[in-house]
Amino acid sequence: MNAALRSLLSKRRGAGIAFQTIDNFESGKSSKNDDRGIILVSVALFEQLLEDAILIRCLKSFEKGALRDSLFSGNPEAGGAVSSLAGKIILGHALRLYGPQAKEDFDRLRRIRNVAAHSKARLTFNSPAIKDAVASFNLLSGGKFEGPRTKTAKGKFLTTCGVSMIFLSVIKTRMRRMRTYRPRLGPKNAFFYD
């Protein structure tokens, strides 16, 4: 991979831009018919916030540059010990950033993203396999986020991705302030920490 393409992989977007991107998809400011793009962009933004939460948890401060590259870069020269989303999800769970139900949902987001990235078939949120995967998100069980937005597969996907991103942003903010992070266990947080 040439240096210019590699540098694009290391560009980061702020959390505000991440949430604005999802809002644009929901409000129709982006192409409503590009379900594949919605999946790819949403999960890429989720992955960035997961990286940040892992780094802050491990380092107790936000580090940029060489250390981030040695952990997360897909560039073989930089290391990239945890360059796959699957590895990041496992590491986040091992660090107790979230519980097993959240890990299952994050893995489901990853699998949906992989299908969107590699499938040659026409792909929409109405595709049976995507609909089934989205319908089984743990976060949406029990009507916790029931509303007009969660009536469609696209809405369920964006709700799960968005709430997960908010959760990771909160972790990041708390860890920066406290320098340590201990998840509060209990029924209100059961999805993320059971």
pLDDT in tens, 19-56: 666 666 666 665 556 888 899 999 999 999 998 888 88
Spell out the alpha helix ranges (H) of 95-152: 100-118, 128-135
Residue 108 banded pLDDT, cuts 50, 70, 90: very high
Dihedral of CA 22/153/9/84: which sign?
A: positive
Q: What are the structure tokens assigned to 140, written together?
A: 């949406």
Average pLDDT value over all residues in the chain: 76
3 state SS for 68-83: HHHHHCCCCCCCCCCC
- Sorted by sequence, the CB contacts under 8 Å of residue 69 that are 6+ apart come out as 10, 75, 78, 79, 80
Spell out the alpha helix ranges (H) of the chain: 3-10, 15-27, 35-59, 66-72, 85-94, 100-118, 128-135, 153-178, 190-193
Question: d(Cα 49, Cα 12) in Å, to the nearest integer?
Answer: 10
Instruction: Please report where in the chains the tokens 């708390």 appear, as a residue.
Output: 174
Question: d(Cα 163, Cα 46) in Å, to the nearest integer?
Answer: 10
Question: d(Cα 57, Cα 122) in Å, to the nearest integer?
Answer: 39
Highest mean pLDDT among 91-100, 104-113, 115-124, 167-176: 104-113
Whether the per-residue pLDDT at 109 is higher than 50: the answer is: yes
